[in-house]
Chain A
Amino acid sequence: MTTYIGTATSRADGYAKVTGAAKYAGEFDATALAHASVVASTIAKGRIARIDANEALSVRGVISVLTHQNRPRMASDDSAYKDDVAPKGSPFRPLYDDQIWFSGQPVALVVAEEAEIARFAASLVRVDYNQQAHVTHLYRQRETAFALESPTDPSQNPFAPPRPRGAAEPALAAAEMRHSGEYYVPIQHHNPMELYASTVIFESGGKLKIYDKTQGVQNVQRYVCSVLGMESDDVRVLSPYVGGAFGSGLRPQYEVVLAALAARALKRSVRLVLTRRQMYGLGYRPAMIQQIELGANASGTLDAITHEAITVTSQYEDFHRQETGWSGLLYKCANARYAHKLARLDLPTSCDMRAPSAATAVYALECAMDELAVALKLDPIELRLRCYSDRDQHSDRPYSSKSLRDCYRQGAEAFGWDQRNSEPRSMRDGAELVGWGMATGIWEALQVPITVRIVLTANGHAEVSCATSDIGTGTYTIMAQVAADMLGLPIENITIQLGDSTLPQSPVEGGSWIAASVSNGIATTSKAVREELLRLAQQMPNSPLAHATPAEVMLADGKLVSKRDGSRAVSIAEAMQHGGVERINQERSTTFEHAGPHAHNTHSAIFAEVKVDEQIGVIRVTRVVSAVAAGRILNTKTASSQIMGGVVWGIGMALHEETLIDHKFGRIMNANIAEYHVPVNADVQDVKVIFVDEPDDAINPLGIKGLGEIGIVGVASAIANAVYHATGKRVRDLPITVDKLQR
């Protein structure tokens, strides 16, 4: 029975958000709340020689200045700092010692009675350093980058490059057509609207109630406990609303440790809000140098792919994803070889950012495929159809569903692709050259173990809870939709609890895995609720459901109903009244078998139109069509918004985004959203989102795949390919700015 699933239900939290009623981490209040401000390092590498906080401490209203020298005790072992999603290495420890790892690293924390006083006093803290030579330039570390080994057992490092398939080099040598290219994507930052913040409420007995900006309250809770040596019951982390995070909030960030440290040192509540510039000292999408070589048959089938990548990480951790594997997955190709190197720079550790690895790797692959199509004189869609893969070639399994062909067809139709003249510079609109480009997108359809609790009361209201987060994606809304359908109740009767570490277990919200996981968790727990109701209903005298089995009944319109005979029904209220229970409380955990018979992925086809002023080189993205195959769509409204957001970000990735580092200072210079360019309204014109049908009863009972990431994958390549089609120029390093078109 689906009344809500698949509809364009408006956001449950929309009203609270637009009226300002929704409170974010930095907006919670407490009695005697103190305010903290970070002093950040101005050098990229070295040691702190001396910190002089006297002037800061002399400011009226300043309570304390914490440094590595006077902070409360913190754990000394690396393992204490390893959060749920930490990469290999030795995690960064804020205010731990005198070591400077990157410019912008917190070196002191000023706590004051007011935020403005703290901020002012922070500017008065004098820090002297013993500076050491730093490197922040990826190309300068190209030679010293170290290779990631591919273990025989992929579970040893699931993000290492896949083992090679066939023999790529001989196949390349024998190929009738070859294309090779080097592609570059610079460092990019997440720039969520909401600033990173923690409000730590110091409660009686020294317990901490922490409002933190995060994508994983339980991850932060465990991290704070282990770093500060606290008992699990003494720390509660909440994050009811998150103003965007995009991966930057998967790992606990330093604001939460610093605020908690200060609260414990002062035995009072403390709030810390980072500045926009300080947020550039958190994670970032690693810059990536990629070399792709494709070998093809003249008829347009791929014989060989090699994909080599160098990505950026810090001096202390090895963050990477399986960037190169996408190439051997997306297209049918018997011979594939991958190589991935990490370059260490004096920067913070890179991290996940919207479609980590795929956004960058598929950009390069899809530009390379476009270049191959040009060389083969094939329509780019036709080339992709000839290389279409019905199996996951890494694991040699069929897909549970893959409607990418429909994406190509429906996307092309909506875009009007058949009107394209394949010749570059052949299409015009007045002074502008018109370019049409396309690309494919791919992402995973992962599911994670999760626990959902449902408390149903006799008046037909249900509270559904899980410690997941809603990072702005619509989790509150889809959870309510699924619960309303599964429990047969009006959506108004459903209350969702999330973003609280005391709720039933959830991993971090990321990777597009929460929608499918939590929805199926709700379905599983609802089944337990239904069974309990049936048990109660069957205890009633002359129960109309006396002989029904759990599989034979469903919940609809506030009643337990026989599927075979709709007249046989018992209302929830009746069943519970007769059973003498006021509430039914069920909690179930669900797990998933990723090594099952099928592989699961989402796909998309993106079509972009650009208009480029021939004389000046100004690029406008006038149209984008994104056709997405992502299983069953839970909510067409929030899903469209997700994809549209991904397209907008893809426009930014193609044309605007770049973190600028001055390598002399080892310092990010455009650390604000005036100078770090993301698309503004004028840059976003006609964006059309299509969801193609993709029934999938093998992935999970509800057929859900999730679509947080897929929206961005491939967009930058579709635009880059369109720019080539318009101008005849291949710009292989992003962003494509006016100066690069002039070269």
Chain B
Amino acid sequence: MNRFSYVRVASVAEAVREIASAPPARFIAGGTNLVDLMKYNVERPERVIDITRLPLTAIEETGEGGLRIGALVTNTEAAYDPRIESRYPLLSSAILAGASPQLRNAASVGGNLLQRTRCYYFYDVATLCNKREPGSGCPAIDGINRIHAILGASPHCIATHPSDMCVALAALEAVVRVTGPQGERNIPFQDFHRLPGGMPEIDTNLARDEIITYIDLPSKGFAQNYTYLKLRDRLSYAFALVSVAAALEMDGEQIKEARLALGGVAHKPWRDIAAEALLRGREPSAKNFAAVASKVLADAKGYGSNDFKIDLARRAIVRALSQAAARTPQSQTDKRIT
């Protein structure tokens, strides 16, 4: 860990001023990822800006039937908030599928969006990594890539985004509210994270001098037909090999609207709106679900050790949609797949 200066800010405006001024700085809230990365010398901020005292700790009604979650609400507070549990159980479930109680108690909602990939090469400064050292190369492409991306990767980076919560937020079409020197702006969740392309060092479309202040949830919460199905190498406390957030709005026997987002498969929570549209007006059936899976995975590409994820994702999509349709969401305590 390098030497750094530390400052604690009291307002969002002050936070923006601090981050905008040189030298290279990072916000710290829960610190559950940043501190690890600093210990590994992957992140070397010269300045650490403590934002834990900012007034962003509430969950409030938006006035449009939705909820506004402050960026400093902890993962635990969000998961167990009665309004989120009843109106957005998909979000609650996804949060509880991730990390451990201790980490969720410390981690902030805003920080969850900004966690870095768990690619082994990214974490080990003795190796090469385009995300860590742009232009140095990506040894994962023909190296250990069992946990890596099958969708949207580039020849420069095949890392995945590790969050569970973000997969649910993508499916729910949340909106990320950010503040920068020019004021506030909204970023639709779908546009918040980016694909690696030629610049894998940039994870998100958040500008360097902006801060996440809130996550807005639209009124539609899919509280009846939803699931968060997470598949991993042990039954808890592991990042997803494949995870699926599925949400359906039913009109009698027919699907009125479907939402589907995947985790563990791409550099961002993976949503395929065209594939979702295949279900509109259709009945929930294995055949229809399989068609959606085929569409989502049409361009999927494996890199050797992660080839199995394509088939695993196919099965997981079908299963998750079936769980959502049957109103038997995956329990995050009982590890049996329902």
Contacts and interface: CB of A to CB of B under 8 A. Distances in A.
Most chain B Cβ neighbours within 10 Å, of A119, A620, A656, A739: A739
A677 B126 CA distance: 22
Interface stretch (A145-153, A452-460, A658-666): A658-666
B1 A737 contact: no
Contact of B127 (A615, A665, A670, A680): A665
A693 interface: no
Contact of B231 (A103, A665, A674, A738): A738
Given A116-B1, A665-B139, A620 B235 contact: yes
Contacts of A682: 234-237, 335
Nearest to B1: A120
B286 to A, nearest CB: 10
A620 B335 CA distance: 8
Interface string B1-32: 11100000000000000000000000000000
B120 A611 contact: no
Interface size class of A (residues with CB under 8 A): 35 or more
Interface size class of B (residues with CB under 8 A): 20 to 34
Interface stretch (B82-90, B253-261, B270-278, B310-318): B310-318
Given A116-B1, A680-B236, A739-B146, A618 B311 contact: no
Given A116-B1, A620-B335, A669-B120, A677 B238 contact: yes
Contact of A739 (B143, B236, B308): B308
B3 to A, nearest CB: 6
Contact of B233 (A42, A656, A665): A656
Nearest to B41: A123
Contacts of B127: 662, 665, 667, 669
Interface in A423-479: 431-432
A618 B3 CA distance: 44
Interface in A118-143: 119-120, 123
A655 interface: yes
A739 B310 CA distance: 11
Contacts of B338: 431
B234 A677 contact: yes
A123 B40 CA distance: 9
B337 interface: yes
A174 B231 CA distance: 48
Interface string A680-695: 1111000000000000
Contacts of A87: none
Contact of A670 (B120, B319, B335): B120
A255 to B, nearest CB: 19
Contacts of A675: 118, 120
B287 to A, nearest CB: 15
B214 interface: no
B121 interface: yes
B235 A739 contact: no
Contact of A660 (B144, B234, B318): B144
B337 A613 contact: yes
Contacts of B337: 431-432, 613, 615-616, 618
Contacts, number: 95
B120 A119 contact: no
A134 B273 CA distance: 48
Interface string B311-338: 1100110110000000000000001111
A664 B41 CA distance: 22
A565 B77 CA distance: 71
Contacts of B61: none
B6 to A, nearest CB: 13
Interface string A496-531: 000000000000000000000000000000000000
B241 interface: yes
B233 A677 contact: yes
A120 to B, nearest CB: 6
Contacts of B234: 655-656, 677, 679-680, 682-683
A123 B2 CA distance: 8
A669 B121 contact: yes
A656 to B, nearest CB: 5
Interface string A383-400: 000000000000000000
Interface in A22-54: 42
Nearest to A275: B39
Nearest to B120: A669
A453 B176 CA distance: 70
Interface in A97-123: 103, 116, 119-120, 123
Contacts of B233: 656, 677, 737-738
B60 interface: no
Given A42-B126, A620-B336, A677-B233, A120 B312 contact: no
Contacts of B144: 660, 662, 669
B118 A615 contact: no
A742 interface: yes
A616 B318 CA distance: 10
A161 B2 CA distance: 51
Given A120-B2, A123-B41, A669 B312 contact: no
Given A42-B126, A682-B335, A742 B311 contact: yes
Interface in B127-148: 127, 139, 142-144, 146
A667 B146 CA distance: 16
B184 interface: no
Given A119-B1, A611-B336, A667 B126 contact: yes
Contacts of A738: 231, 233, 241, 308, 312
Contacts of A739: 146, 308, 312
A431 B328 CA distance: 13
B251 interface: no
Contacts of A618: 231, 235, 335, 337
A616 B236 contact: no
B124 interface: yes
Contacts of B2: 120, 123
B142 to A, nearest CB: 8
Contacts of B41: 123
Contacts of A656: 233-234
A676 to B, nearest CB: 11
Nearest to B307: A739
Contact of A683 (B143, B235, B318, B336): B235
A618 B330 CA distance: 13
Interface string B215-235: 000000000000000010111
Nearest to B235: A682
Most chain B Cβ neighbours within 10 Å, of A618, A669, A674, A679: A669
A277 to B, nearest CB: 8
A24 to B, nearest CB: 20
A664 B138 CA distance: 12
A674 B234 CA distance: 11
B290 to A, nearest CB: 12
Given A660-B144, A664-B143, A432 B336 contact: yes
Given A611-B336, A655-B234, 11 more contacts: A123-B2, A432-B336, A432-B337, A615-B337, A618-B231, A618-B335, A656-B234, A660-B144, A664-B142, A667-B126, A677-B233
12 contacts: A432-B336, A613-B337, A615-B337, A618-B337, A655-B234, A662-B127, A665-B127, A669-B127, A682-B237, A683-B235, A738-B231, A739-B308
Closest 4 CB pairs of A and B: A739-B308, A42-B126, A682-B236, A682-B235
Interface of B: 1-3, 41, 118, 120-121, 124, 126-127, 139, 142-144, 146, 231, 233-238, 241, 308, 311-312, 315-316, 318-319, 335-338
Interface of A: 42, 103, 116, 119-120, 123, 431-432, 611, 613, 615-618, 620, 655-656, 660, 662, 664-665, 667, 669-671, 674-675, 677, 679-683, 737-739, 742
